[in-house]
Amino acid sequence: MTQATLSERVLTGDPRAIARAISLIEDEAPAGAELIRRIFARTGRAYLIGVTGPPGAGKSTLVDRMTAQLRKAGKTVGVVAVDPTSPYTGGAILRDRVRMQAHAGDDGVFIRSMATRGHLGGLARATGEVAAVFDASGKDLVIIETVGVGQDEVDIVRTADVSIVTIVPGAGDEVQALKAGLMEIADIFVVNKADREGADRTVSSIEAMLSLHTFAEGDWRPPIMKTEAISGRGVPELLEMIERFRQHTAATQGSRRRTRAEWRLRELLGHRFLQHVESQILKAGEFEQILDRIAKRELDPYSAVDGIFQRTITPGRE
């Protein structure tokens, strides 16, 4: 498949072309960047839903239910699931195979798990690009599932059009964790596994946290929804709430997308610069030598960066 035909086929929604495109992105192949260039003008139509929360909260189950419900309403959906913390990556991928099976033969759904290969910054970038592929391929909605642990995952979700934070009953720790950061990114809270004891208590503790925050008139106050992803209970209400949020933020969606563009631009630029430094400026092994000197306190990191930066902007200088 040539680049031109690949991008054209992605734009028609061809699942095989989408799969190929995602592999190029995952491999960080130059062809992946070229593909993004070709499809970029056709992105920006899909609505991006970020779903985050601790491992085991039921995010994947919930996303499946949401997908099924959206399909019933005639919407097309792309799902990208990222779980870098899972020691069972093999298992996660296996589960996602099962998830894909459930939608086999339906071109209106595409589900993809992202492998991590150890670098999270790259993962955040790749997730955004996979979302762009789904978007360009004509999917109405793109759901991004990530484990809410690190800054990168939080960044991924923060830049979605709507961010959903999932939590499970009896999770005192998780509510603590929410305070530490997830709290500020939630547009909608979901207490999943509402069939379990303590769901109302969890709702109350989130409510208590929210009450510490003052919302100006007209501000969106994050609602707290209860769901049972296993049975699907509460999922239609959640989708309705997403729609309400979408309407509420219609006027500000542009600035949110601009923030997303800014974040991606900065990230890409930083990545490109670092790549250039590592491959063109530093000699083989020099990065490690600098690290060693910093570790031994012979060199401070600011001076190290100054030196490298000078060499980068004035090539030929040692």
Ligand X SMILES: Nc1nc2c(ncn2[C@@H]2O[C@H](COP(=O)(O)OP(=O)(O)O)[C@@H](O)[C@H]2O)c(=O)[nH]1
Candidates 36-44, 116-124, 191-199, 263-271: pick the segment binding ligand X (CB under 6 A): 191-199
Q: How far is the CB of 121 from Mg ion (least distance, A)?
A: 21
C-beta closer to ligand X: residue 39 or 165: 165
* Closest alpha carbon to 235 in 4, 108, 73, 96: 73
Rounded Cα gap, residues 49 and 160, in angstroms: 6
Residues 229-268 vs ligand X: string with x where CB under 6 A?
A: xx--------------------------------------
Tokens encoding 277? 């430094």
66 binds ligand X (CB under 6 A): no
Among 60, 67, 146, 166, binds Mg ion (CB under 5 A): 60
Sequence-distant (≥ 6) Cβ neighbours of residue 164 within 8 angstroms = 49, 50, 51, 52, 186, 187, 188, 189, 190, 238, 242
DSSP-based helix, strand, coil % in the chain, nearest 5: 55, 15, 30
Residue 121 binding partner per list Mg ion, ligand X, none, with a CB distance cut-off of 5 to 8 Å that depends on partner kind: none
Phi, psi of 177 (to 5 degrees): -60, -35
Among 99, 139, 193, 226, binds ligand X (CB under 6 A): 193
Q: How far is the CB of 10 from Mg ion (least distance, A)?
A: 25
Residues composing the chain: 318
Give Dmax (Cα) for the chain: 67
Tokens encoding 235? 């999922």
H or E element in which residue 135 lies:
helix 120-136
Cα–Cα–Cα angle for 186, 182, 45, nearest 5°?
A: 45
C-beta closer to ligand X: residue 137 or 202: 202
127 binds Mg ion (CB under 5 A): no
15 binds ligand X (CB under 6 A): no
Q: How far is the CB of 267 from ligand X (least distance, A)?
A: 25
* Closest alpha carbon to 47 in 3, 23, 5, 78: 78
97 binds ligand X (CB under 6 A): no
Residue 21 binding partner per list ligand X, Mg ion, none, with a CB distance cut-off of 5 to 8 Å that depends on partner kind: none
Residue 112 binding partner per list ligand X, Mg ion, none, with a CB distance cut-off of 5 to 8 Å that depends on partner kind: none
CB 63 within 8 A of CB 145: yes
Candidates 1-9, 18-26, 58-66, 279-287: pick the segment binding Mg ion (CB under 5 A): 58-66
Q: Please list the residues that pair with 112 across neighbouring strands.
A: 80
C-beta closer to ligand X: residue 26 or 228: 228
Residues 159-178 vs ligand X: string with x where CB under 6 A?
A: --------------------
Among 96, 155, 187, 228, binds ligand X (CB under 6 A): 228
- Write out the residues near ligand X by the rule CB under 6 A: 55-61, 192-193, 195-196, 228-230
- Write out the residues near Mg ion by the rule CB under 5 A: 59-60
